Amino acid sequence: MNPKVIAIIAHIGPIGWIIAFLLNQNHRSFFSDFYVKQTLGLVLVGIVCPFIPVVGWLCAIALFVFWIMSLVNCVQDNTTELPLIGTYFQTWFKGL
């Protein structure tokens, strides 16, 4: 399967990420690996955000902006890390 398609599927929430992760196991590429890691980080932050009092809604807004940035970069065939957090996601999830 095309790595770009796998990367786009990864952006469709937690279920999309699981599907992309499984598809990526059969068709490894740097591009799809990069976005599987980025979107895993976004999904995990999205799970934690609602439990942060007061600033949780700011976290949710930032998460939405980062998700849009990631999706736009994916569609444009760029592997640009997300500001502030992208480097951490690539490091933390390098074993995927």
* Both tokens assigned to 68: 């849009």
Question: What is the reported pTM?
Answer: 0.87
3-state secondary structure of 75: helix
Please write the tens of the pLDDT for every residue from 31-81: 999 999 999 999 998 888 888 888 888 888 999 999 999 999 999 998 888
- Residue-range definition of the domain harbouring residue 60: 3-92
Overall number of domains in the chain: 1
Question: How many residues comprise the chain?
Answer: 96
* Both tokens assigned to 5: 């398609």
Query: Residue 37: what pLDDT?
Result: 92
Question: Cα separation of 90 and 86, whole Å?
Answer: 6
Distances (CA, A) of 96 to 25, 55, 61, 71, 90: 9, 30, 27, 20, 10
